């Protein structure tokens, strides 16, 4: 089967999809219906590519791994459990392939994201957020520099939860672990990123005088 991903200009657009409809399409595809699987690819390719861009930090790598994700999905449809949302199963495949790609890069793995969300949530009064004036390019550069301090699982959980806004329960099912494990990975990822920003980019953190003025 030749898989056709969505055009590049739509890579970051989220496609609306009904989980129940996708389950039916997946079951039809499992029975050999290529058109049903092509419809799944059309619905989900933009979201998968966007997710992989954030994991891998490179658009071409993201498209390559997305292509492999759908190939793996097609080849393993007999293992798809229809009690799961198709998207959950698909993100699990994509996440595992992204981890493999990151490991092959070792410490040179890069990631792309909206930097103002790096320290979202889990913040105490003594841990102010980065200033709102932080430019998008600076935020991307900071995340790329700091994300290498995260383990593959921490990065995967962080991207899914903070950037893709996937619920913790869904992430737990995607990774085959408990929600408490997801929360722990997320907590550690936030902590490590905050520490890395303090250590490597202190100029982007509010000064003590600025904090006092804001009280």
Give the start-to-end residue ranges of the domains of the chain: 11-112, 125-209
As a whole number, the mean pLDDT across the chain is: 76
Cα distance between residue 159 and residue 165, in whole Å: 8
Q: What average pLDDT does the segment 116-130 reach?
A: 43
Tell me the C-alpha distance between 71 and 1, whole Å: 9
CA–CA gap between residue 44 and residue 14 (Å, rounded): 8
Dist. CA 145–CA 16, nearest whole Å = 33
| Confidence grade of residue 5 (pLDDT, cut at 50, 70, 90) | low
| CATH class of domain segment(s) 11-112 | mainly alpha
Average pLDDT on 61-87 reads 93
- pLDDT bin (cut points 50, 70, 90) of residue 14 is very low
Q: In CATH terms, is domain 125-209 a member of 1.50.10.10?
A: no
Check residue 161 and report its DSSP letter.
I
The alpha-carbon radius of gyration of the chain (Å, integer) is: 19
Q: What is the pLDDT of residue 101?
A: 87
């Amino acid at each position: 089967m030749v898989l056709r991903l969505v055009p590049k200009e739509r890579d970051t657009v989220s496609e609306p999809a009904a989980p129940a409809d996708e389950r039916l399409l997946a079951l039809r595809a499992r029975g050999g219906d290529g058109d049903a699987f092509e419809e799944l690819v059309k619905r989900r390719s933009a979201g998968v590519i966007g997710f992989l861009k954030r994991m891998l930090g490179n658009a071409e790598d993201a498209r390559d791994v997305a292509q492999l994700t759908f190939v793996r999905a097609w080849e393993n449809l007999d293992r798809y459990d229809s009690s799961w949302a198709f998207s959950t199963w698909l993100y699990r495949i994509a996440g595992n392939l992204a981890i493999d790609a990151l490991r092959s890069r070792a410490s040179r793995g890069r990631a792309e994201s909206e930097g103002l969300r790096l320290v979202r949530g889990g913040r105490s009064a003594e841990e102010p957020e980065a200033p709102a004036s932080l430019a998008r390019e600076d935020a991307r550069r900071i995340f790329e520099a700091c994300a290498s301090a995260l383990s593959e699982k921490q990065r995967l959980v962080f991207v899914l939860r903070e950037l893709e806004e996937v619920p913790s329960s869904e992430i737990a099912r995607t990774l085959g672990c408990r929600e408490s494990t997801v929360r722990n990975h997320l907590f550690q990822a936030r902590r490590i990123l905050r520490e890395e920003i303090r250590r490597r980019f202190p100029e982007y953190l509010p000064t003590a005088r600025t904090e006092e003025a804001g009280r």
